[in-house]
Amino acid sequence: MDKVTERRKRLREKRLSRQRLRKYNKETIFEDSSPKYRDRPEPIQSPKYEAEESEADYEILPEPEIVDDNIQSEVQKNKNGSSVVRWVNNNVDNVRLGLGALIFLCSILILNNNLNIRNAYITSSQSLYNVLLMGKSTGDLTMWARQYVVTENPKYKKAYEDHLIVRSGNRADDNGIKKSYDQRFKDIPTEIVPEADKQKLLDSLSASEFLALKETNAFTLVENGERDKAIDVLFDKEYDLQKERTVTPLLEFTRKLQTDVGKMVVTKLYFSYGYIILLCIANLILVFLINDRLDFKISDDD
């Protein structure tokens, strides 16, 4: 209020000085019109000033409120948002670069996970096919061997020998693949199937080859006229136990493969879901940064 009072005093003094000046000008003009002062040179007239606005035209300016520095800083923080938002607004270019790198990295990781899942399915399908092939081979050899020793029909012996040639890799199978069973098992990728699991398939193959030796000995007994001994060799308890040693590793391998591949696929899928969530968040933040800064009720004018 003291500032308003002083301003009024200054305006009043200016108005009084202008009134005195106008009064002086009138007197000077009157004296110049008289005959006494008619021949005197005209005095230099002072400039005329227009009347200023009255005091009523001026608004009374309220005095500023004294605000504590701590309160003012707190109000300024509230206007500009949280510290994270302020940091983002001050480093917009760096944030954009980081979000771009994050989006690129998440895209690569999602693609890598999909490729790993694809490879896991391909490897598991090939491994299961080899297990089925091995089981069928063992069953077919047993069937043909027993049929030959019982009936002494040479077609069963020929089918048996032809299958051994295919299994050893000296002749192509029905799918046109010319590869031994031993090599097929070794070619399974270790990234999906470890060496310990592949060893189970090799153990099953070794047990099946031992059965083939017993079956070949039975064929020799039949050819020597000892068919009863040949039948005892292929139908005794020891032969069945050896056949069980051939099938058991195949079953263990199949169970282990299903468990490991299932866990790996689920883990990769969970990671892919996480990468997709990060990708969506990064894109959402980029949408807010289109206008150069985060717009969470922030104004530069505040």
Q: Of the given ranges (36-40, 289-293, 298-302), which has the lowest mean pLDDT?
A: 298-302
pTM of the model: 0.59
56-63 contacts, C-beta under 8 A, 24 or more apart: 58/7, 60/4, 61/3, 61/4, 63/1, 63/3
Cα 102 from Cα 108, distance rounded (Å):
10
pLDDT tens-digit series, residues 86-125: 777 777 778 788 888 888 898 899 999 888 888 888 888 8
Is the Cβ–Cβ distance between 130 and 201 less than 8 Å? yes
C-alpha closest to that of 205 among 175, 255, 230, 169: 169
Task: Give me the torsion for CA of 158, 161, 162, 168, rounded to 10°.
Answer: 180
pLDDT tens-digit series, residues 195-252: 888 889 889 989 998 988 999 999 999 988 888 898 898 898 988 898 898 999 999 9
CA angle 147, 240, 146 (to 5 degrees): 5
Q: Encode 113-141 in three state secondary structure.
A: HHHHHHHHHHHHHHHHHHHHHHHHHHHHH
Cα 121 from Cα 264, distance rounded (Å):
10
pLDDT of 125 reads: 87
Cα 133 from Cα 52, distance rounded (Å):
111
Domain residues of the chain, as ranges? 2-68, 99-291
Whose structure tokens read 């300024």?
76
Where is 229: in which H helix or E strand?
helix 227-235
pLDDT tens-digit series, residues 7-48: 777 777 877 777 777 776 666 554 544 554 445 555 555 555
pLDDT tens-digit series, residues 133-168: 888 888 999 999 999 999 989 999 999 999 989 888
Cα 177 from Cα 258, distance rounded (Å):
25
Q: Which two tokens stand for residue 241?
A: 């136990």
SS3 (DSSP) at 11: helix
pLDDT of 72 reads: 53
Is the Cβ–Cβ distance between 167 and 226 less than 8 Å? no
CA angle 293, 274, 296 (to 5 degrees): 20
